[in-house]
A and B are shown apart, each in its own frame.
Chain A
Amino acid sequence: MSDTHSQTAFVRTEVLPEAPPPVYEQGIVKWLRENLFSSVANTILTLAAIWAVYYLATATGPWILNGVWTTSSLTECRDVLQGDVGACFSVLAERWNQLLFGFKYPDELYWRPLLAFALLFVALGPLLFFKVFPRKFLALTAVYPFLAFYLIWGGTIMVPVFALLGFVVGIIVYRRLVLQSAAMGLLGAVIAAFAFWYATGFITGPMANFLALEPVPSRDMGGFMLNMMLGVICVSLSLPIGILLALGRQSNMPIIKWISVVFIEFIRGVPLITLLFVANVVLAYFLPPESSLDLILRVIIMITMFASAYIAEVIRGGLAALPKGQYEAADSLGLDYAQSMQLIILPQALKISIPGIVNVSVGLFKDTTLVSVISMFDLVGMIRGPILGASEWNGVYWELFGFAALLFFVVCYSISQYSQWLERQLQTDHR
């Protein structure tokens, strides 16, 4: 019996290692088969896409790589290129200051808007990443608007300081009076702040040179700086106004509701350009004859109105999305209107509205280019006016518009990425 084993030719004692999958079922080949060439239609789409990418790359690649950066006019660019395809980026190298700051802002003062721009991140940091920074840092955010005003417009430091102090006085009065009733607090705060500003108006006159930076009139501002200024100022002003309008529209007091509805629907029904026309040619008729509100301020007023109507609608959506139980729960706790809004309703409603608010803000920032239509020299206005109008750069469309598009893309894309990140951070439902 023992030789039965010897009759068996071969018995494998260990398991074979697993054979690798076929070449077309692994690695990049599998990925290609599944993602790009899974069917005939898909293959055609892929080939079309490859052609499109190739076309774009061959059209723009050499143009960018051959770019000339150092000449002083378009004709010199053409001389350097000698008929080759190539961009004339020299216009950006030579006119970068005009593109960013406008053509009148004094050269030696560029550090001021740049510093204000850098501080913008310091101010926004605590607001945008509120989980990282302690709440105390929000003081930086509160001080920033006044500091930025001081840096960009210049003049005596007393104006922004007193403006800030006015708010502080208002808040102190509100804290005192709110114990009686919220309405009293609000009314008292507004009156106190205005009284303070009126009183200090007599002091700033004689102290015009106290710690003064060289003043820059607002009509000297331009370029991308103007777009940034309009965007930041109008969005931050329109948020509180938008919240008030949204609450007004939801209110059960008919007069306040109808004022809000008419305002919101009127503004949302007309294009921004017509509102800018109003700022440019009509608004002056409605102001006292002796007043001379400068154009940039009138534009800020109109864009803020425009933005707040849109933001109000977004927030109204957030308010409407809250379950009715939240309102009733707040009432049953005995909170009054102001408290229930502040503590229960608005935190939730604003959280829901974040994507919408960001959308409106990005849209508004893009719309700030429209001011070039009423002959203000923002980035687009600078390109169309002084730069393309100059004889040495007449005809450099691609480089300039491409640069403008790139600047806006960088800002808007980062804002939208941030908002998506924030949405994930604030997610409280279970997924």
Chain B
Amino acid sequence: MTTLTDPPEESFRLSMLINDTRYRSYTFQFIALMLLIVFMSYLGWNLVQNLAEQGQNISYRFLGEPSGYDINQTPIEYDSQSTHLRASIVGVLNTIIVAFLGCVSATILGVTAGVLRLSPNWLVRKLMAAYVEAFRNVPVLIWILIIFSIMTAAMPAPSAFRGDAPDASMVFGAVAFTNRGVYVPSPIWGSGSLIVVLLFIASVIGVFAYRRYATKLLYDTGKLLPMGWPSLAILVLPSVIAYYILGQPISLEYPELKGFNFGGGIHIRGSLIALWFALAIYTGAFIAENVRAGIQAISRGQTEAAASLGLRPRRIMNLVILPQALRIVIPPVISQYLNLTKNSSLAIAVGYMDVTGTLGGITLNQTGRAIETVLMLMLFYLLISLAISGVMNLYNNAMKLQER
């Protein structure tokens, strides 16, 4: 007769730490943790020693001291007596400005180029392919510098606009491209302009409401309302009518030559233009590829099925292909936005005062507080990245295919 007994309790041996899968993972994690701690304390010990040797310390007190330098583009009030902290905030705002401008124009450019790359027109297709390849394969820094040298070296000086037969003239009499930047008209908000603006916002909402209503009508009753021209009418007409009834409350101030330079209007510096355009064109090429890949990823069967239902090519695109393609296109496009924001730190190469230029550039050089400033700089970008990837995750969850 056999009796089942438990296997004899194996006594713990040291070699089991490395050979037995039950204990091995603990050994490895312990070793990894120890190595990490040793490495970190080595770095920390070096830091303490280096700081002591140079008579320095880690302190953020410099943030409250006057910065003593000027910034050429200040979205909020700032002068050289303001603190370093305020200088960094100006830089942060400048980063956000150029990132926003870049993202919007890169999207427009990229979607256009991506769709045109799939056009039946051979010439346009090839031209767009050339654009995408040329810009994707050359460093963005070189494009920034090329556009910056166009802005500073190839544009006429303000004095060229002077006289009866000037060498240069303003585009449409309103926009002046000079080597000191671009001057565009600025709006002047008269009394009553608030009503026009509010009306315009209301009509934007109205357009969405109309389209929603039309879709609902289509699904409920099968009745098809026209979409194109009514939306346009709702968008434009009320504001235009109100604008003339109220006696044209919003007017434009045109830039004018005053002395040696232009006055009036909005002055956009060459560095902002260079950074904005270069980032937009460069990132646009990547977005074009994402859009093309997304549209091509939708299988041909979808197009054929839609066609067999009797949909016309335009409706196939709008109702069948694009809704599916967007799900594929949007995540990589958002990570392109993230890249664009990070690439905007190249501003320092053309002297645009973004956060890398103020906090990581002049503030660092003036105060010599390398560790603190670089750490703050990294945390700022990290925060932006985490925020954007948070948005991306939210979107992904919302758009995920609702499977059973």
Contact = CB atoms under 8 A, between A and B. Distances in A.
Decide whether A and B are members of one complex. Answer: yes
Interface of A: 35-36, 38, 42, 45-46, 49-50, 52-53, 180-181, 183-184, 252-256, 259, 266, 268-274, 277-278, 281-282, 284-289, 362, 366-367, 369-370, 372-373, 380, 384, 395, 397-398, 401, 404-405, 408-409, 412-413, 416
A378 to B, nearest CB: 10
Contacts of A46: 121, 123-124
Contact of B149 (A278, A370, A397): A397
Interface in B324-370: 342-343, 345-346, 348-349, 356, 360, 364, 370
A401 B149 contact: yes
Interface in B265-314: none
A191 to B, nearest CB: 13
A312 B119 CA distance: 36
Given A277-B377, A369-B141, A266 B382 contact: yes
Contacts of A274: 345, 356, 360, 374, 377-378, 381
A183 B371 contact: no
A380 B122 contact: no
B137 A412 contact: yes
6 contacts: A49-B121, A53-B123, A183-B24, A259-B32, A370-B346, A397-B153
9 A-B pairs closest in CB distance: A269-B385, A412-B137, A271-B342, A366-B139, A397-B149, A281-B370, A269-B382, A35-B122, A255-B29
Contacts of B50: 284-286, 289
Contacts of B25: 252-253
B366 to A, nearest CB: 13
B141 A370 contact: yes
B127 interface: yes
Interface residues of B, number: 56
B381 A269 contact: yes
Contacts of A266: 378, 382
Contacts of A52: 127
- Which secondary structure dominates where chain A touches chain B? helix
A380 B146 CA distance: 11
A256 B32 contact: yes
B140 interface: yes
A370 B123 CA distance: 35
Nearest to B385: A269
A285 B377 contact: no
Contacts of B24: 183
Given A183-B28, A285-B46, A38 B356 contact: no
A404 B28 CA distance: 48
Nearest to B152: A397
Contact of B142 (A36, A269, A408, A416): A408
A332 to B, nearest CB: 16
A35 B18 CA distance: 68
B252 interface: no
B32 A380 contact: no
A254 B33 CA distance: 11
Interface string B125-146: 0010000011011111111011
Given A184-B18, A277-B377, A413 B133 contact: yes
From A272, A274, A284, A404, name the one whose CB has the most chain B CB atoms within 10 angstroms: A274
A405 B36 CA distance: 42
A386 to B, nearest CB: 15
A255 B32 contact: yes
A367 B138 CA distance: 10
B146 A405 contact: yes
Given A254-B29, A282-B371, A412-B138, 16 more contacts: A35-B122, A35-B123, A42-B120, A42-B121, A45-B123, A52-B127, A53-B127, A269-B386, A285-B46, A285-B370, A286-B43, A366-B140, A369-B141, A373-B349, A398-B146, A408-B142
Contacts of B59: none
Contacts of A285: 46-47, 50-51, 370-371
A277 B364 CA distance: 10
Given A42-B120, A49-B127, A282 B28 contact: no
B19 interface: yes
A45 B121 CA distance: 8
B143 to A, nearest CB: 8
A52 B128 CA distance: 11
Contact of B141 (A49, A380, A416): A380
Contacts of B6: none
B26 to A, nearest CB: 8
A290 to B, nearest CB: 10
A289 B46 contact: yes
B10 interface: no
A45 B237 CA distance: 30
Given A289-B50, A405-B142, A270 B348 contact: no
Contacts of B371: 282, 285
Contacts of B370: 277, 281-282, 285
B220 interface: no
B258 to A, nearest CB: 29
B49 interface: yes
Given A49-B123, A271-B343, A285-B370, A255 B33 contact: yes
A38 B18 CA distance: 72
B53 interface: yes
Contacts of A278: 374
Given A271-B342, A373-B348, A409 B137 contact: yes
B360 to A, nearest CB: 6
Contacts of B342: 270-272
Interface in B14-39: 18-19, 24-25, 28-29, 32-33, 36
B142 A401 contact: yes
A286 B47 contact: yes
B346 A373 contact: yes
A289 B53 contact: yes
A256 B123 contact: no
B29 A45 contact: no
B149 to A, nearest CB: 4
A372 B164 CA distance: 45
B328 to A, nearest CB: 15
Contacts of B133: 413
From A272, A277, A408, name the one whose CB has the most chain B CB atoms within 10 angstroms: A277
Contacts of B153: 395, 397
